[in-house]
Structure 1
Amino acid sequence: MPFDQPTGAPLIETKALSKRFGDNTVLRDVSMGVASGEVVCVIGPSGSGKTTLLRSMALLEAPSGGQVLMDGTVIADGENGRAVRKAARAVRSDIGMVFQHFNLWPHMSVLGNVIEAPMRVRGLGRDQAVAEAEALLEKVGLAEKRDASPGRLSGGQQQRVAIARALAMKPRLMLFDEATSALDPELKAEVLAVMRALAEEGMTMLAVTHEMNFARRACTRLVFMDGGEIVEEGAPAAFFDAPTTERARRFLARLED
């Protein structure tokens, strides 16, 4: 069925994207785009292909078929991956990703985690990297934790550091892969508040989430997946109030139960 697409040119998009792991097809000809300034939430049952879609767009998984494009340039190609590697390298720093598990470097302080990539990849001097990192830690409410070890932080604090670390690369697009699913409700609220603030500031975001309140209130568009396919797509209010597919209605009914 046809879906409403963003009115602006996509910052990032997939065209007929497929992904197979052996005999298991996880993504089936998925085509979607995210325009600059959009906040798109991807929801659906476990095993529906949500994380694989996000990882493919982050260039962490090579497609089995189809393409990923950024600004109209192919950055991943299931038919000819070798030919687009240069284009992929050029945009890697434009894509920030926050994972379900925080993946902080335990041997570095909070500040060390945030300044490492800007110094190594962006080539910043230490003084500038530290100044930018301190501003980001202030942004996520952790300025006083700059010298702490990650192991001494709560899960919510670690995830906020992970967000600051991703933002330190000045990405044009932020990807969130179930960023709150490993946290208890109080700590989830800390992270979701940071994500909402980024959305309000106009950051382009694509988030795989099980947080339905966040999807309803913070997202400009919602994508519902099942069986490796996009089943339904549109405004969050329309999806939650009047889903158009039986599969989406069953999903929402189970959430209510």
Structure 2
Amino acid sequence: MIMRKFTLLLLFLISSNSLTAQFFIAGGHLNGGLPVSNLKQEVDKTFFPTLSGILLYEFYNKPIQVGLEVSYGIYGTKMEVRNDLYPGYTDEFRIRRNNNYTSGMAVFRYLPSMSSKLTPFVEIQAGANYLYSRFKIRPSIFEDVVEAGKDMQDWAFAYKVGGGIQFPLPGIDGGKLELRINYQDGGTMRFLTKGDTNYLPDNGNGEFEYNPRQSPLQLITASVGIVVYDAFW
């Protein structure tokens, strides 16, 4: 709901300006998040890497940018080879489990200096995080999947505060290298990490045991990326 309202507001603000005032920035980032606070107590050494794409609109002759950023990453993966997954069969199967992290955030940026070569900015984001764990079972990496599904999923409101700086990139018209750091917090989520799922072959016909974590997704995230000004001219 928050993302929808922000998107509608963004479209209204863009359409209310003349075409000559439209100014878009697009880019992508490599991000790495380290747990802090309550999350650090739950998953001290878990690293949260993501790839993200960002689209921003800069108001004409104003130090303000607004837009959207969407991220995806895998913060843990585990592969087992077992011969006890299916009762009555001793064939070996590979079970691969990925813990996935996705987010969609509305972005607001303020640029204190727009005329210098180095462009600093302050950033606030708000939106939602979605964590889910998926598994796939197959005889080998080259064969079709026998079974697939989700073990656990949850989502929560989230926000980020931080800032960064942009450097001109020679050879790319309007291109800039962007370094950024932010702090993320939000609502409490239930999620799995790499060692939180066990298979119990002697329970019934075999079943998975889950030991989920519960915490806000509190991260300090560093990013490096490339953004291009006037991306759609």
TM-score range relative to shorter protein: under 0.3
Structure showing greater radius of gyration is 2
- Higher strand content, 1 or 2: 2
Q: TM-score, normalised by structure 2?
A: 0.24
Q: What TM-score, normalized to structure 1?
A: 0.22
Name the structure with the higher helix share.
Answer: 1
**Larger relative contact order, structure 1 or 2 (CA cutoff 8 Å, min sep 6):** 1
